[in-house]
Amino acid sequence: MIKYREISGLIFLKKLLKELKQLLKIGVPIFGSQISYMGMGVTDTIVAGQASALDLSGLAIGNALTMPIYFLFGGCLFAVTPIVAQLFGAKQYEMIGEKVRQILWLSIGIGVIGFFAYRNLSSLIPFFDIDPEIAVISDGYLKAMSYGFVANMIFTCLRCYSEGMGLTLPVFWIAFIGMLLNIPLDIIFVYGYFGIPPMGGVGCGIATSINVILGMMILVVVILRKKEYAKTKLFSQFSKPNKETTLEALKLGFPIGFGLFVELSMFSGAALIIGSLGAAVVGAHTVAINIASVFFMLPLSIGLAAATRIGNLVGEKNLTQAQYASYVTVLVCFAGACFNTVCIFTLRDSLVSLYSGDIEVIAIAVNLLLFAAIFQIPDGLQMGALGSLRGYKDTFAPMLMLIVTYWFIALPVGYFLTYYGILGNPLGAAGIWIGMITGLVLFSTLIIPRLNYTSNKFILKASQEPL
């Protein structure tokens, strides 16, 4: 005779696997897209590094200036995912087309602002002690990147539109093709072929702009031709900019963009804090951060998928399932983070050797990877909760939590431990990692209860609505 507990266990497992399947269906292509985007950056680094150390340095400075601006501006358009996801769940397909057409105007406006911002970012370089030759390359790279910024914002809007409907596979293929195309484009413009003069690190910016413009054009063609997009009638009519939709997107999207800016600034601030500890320490820290970032792609992709999955369920008014999906997301991100922790801990010597041959850098980086392994757990948990909250369109409170825990706790604690330590014994680079882990742990302990509160609030509100 089958016992009740066995039946309950089978039902629980079946329900869990069903939800996991839905999450992975959305998340696996997103993971592929994220790896492809990272692959483009790796190609830029390798090709520019082979050209010269100056070109590599110019590229690094240019990226350090462009990345926060991209996420601050482009993050505002990440609001498209939950907006579309909820409308898709509610089967308001033509409203999706109307909203996205209106937000496309916003993406063009943001793109124009970003174009001028990129062209003037080099004015910040004199505030840092940077070699004039490197500064010239960085300035050229920034100006080259500016030509693709408008297309990048339009692509971001359309990408989030596609992902909001769960159509993540087309975006993956475009990203993957872009990663492959970036290799010959980098080589052509960096070294100079087919009558094009060698541009060094600046050529990486030209290649990226061309790649983004082509990616945008391909995505438009895909949307026009694939039947899965047809019911939204996105390009079937013209819509003027709409004040209400613009404010809705900014109200939801600005906290996302600023939150990403805060997170990036924590990592940038950490690098600046340890800057006086010497080249070997800075190099080891950079290696450890890079390895941690690569492994973070797994929980990041699941968190991004959760915004779509939970947004769809909220739109369907299936709020109990949405809550369950959010819990599964956090669980999966936690499991992925544990897997990452074990991998980093056991493979840290081999991983570091891929990045550097310097004995001193390797020794320091191997030790820092112990902290990077621990780092994965709270980072994975917060990403699961953060992605789920975006599905509920809850972005303002998480932004405030990020500001408090990263700017007012992680960085000050990290600075103090780095230079003053405990009982007057400075911890060096380990101090800033302990500070970042402290900030992440505190953010996780705040964001997970916030997710529980938000999901319960939606369920309670729905139960009080008249049938």
* In the predicted structure, residue 103 carries a pLDDT above the cut 90: yes
| CA proximity to 429, closest of 269, 265, 284, 263 | 284
Mean pLDDT of 24-53: 82
* In the predicted structure, residue 2 carries a pLDDT above the cut 80: no
Does the pTM surpass 0.95? The reply is no
Asked, for residue 467, whether it belongs to a domain, the answer is no
What are 68-82's pLDDT values in tens digits?
Answer: 788 888 888 989 999
Asked, for residue 153, whether it belongs to a domain, the answer is yes
Number of domains in the chain: 2
Asked, for residue 11, whether it belongs to a domain, the answer is no
Asked, for residue 399, whether it belongs to a domain, the answer is yes
Q: Which of 280-284, 313-317, 403-407, 412-416 has the lowest mean pLDDT?
A: 280-284
Asked, for residue 1, whether it belongs to a domain, the answer is no
Q: Are 298 and 179 within one domain?
A: no
Q: Are 88 and 135 within one domain?
A: yes
The answer to whether 100 and 80 are in contact (CB under 8 A) is yes
Which residues, in sequence order, are bridge partners of residue 425? Answer: 422
Q: Are 35 and 136 within one domain?
A: yes
Q: Are 150 and 281 within one domain?
A: no
Domain containing 240 equals 25-260
Q: Is 240 exposed, middle or buried (0-12, 13-18, 19+ CB in 10 A)?
A: exposed
CA distance 393 to 426: 42
Question: Tokens representing 161?
Answer: 């539109």
The residue from 260, 285, 306 where one domain ends is: 260
Q: Are 247 and 383 within one domain?
A: no
Q: Are 310 and 356 within one domain?
A: yes
Asked, for residue 435, whether it belongs to a domain, the answer is yes
Q: Are 273 and 255 within one domain?
A: no
The answer to whether 169 and 29 are in contact (CB under 8 A) is yes
Q: Are 218 and 189 within one domain?
A: yes
| CA proximity to 388, closest of 317, 438, 333 | 333
More confident residue, 157 or 274: 157
* In the predicted structure, residue 1 carries a pLDDT above the cut 50: no
Asked, for residue 16, whether it belongs to a domain, the answer is no
Asked, for residue 128, whether it belongs to a domain, the answer is yes
| CA proximity to 207, closest of 73, 345, 51 | 51
The residue from 260, 294, 315 where one domain ends is: 260
The residue from 260, 281, 314 where one domain ends is: 260
CA distance 376 to 297: 11
Q: Are 213 and 351 within one domain?
A: no
Q: Are 76 and 126 within one domain?
A: yes
Mean pLDDT of 394-413: 93
Q: Are 118 and 244 within one domain?
A: yes
CA distance 399 to 262: 8
Q: Are 171 and 280 within one domain?
A: no
* In the predicted structure, residue 146 carries a pLDDT above the cut 80: yes
Q: Tokens 């690094």 sit at which residue?
A: 60
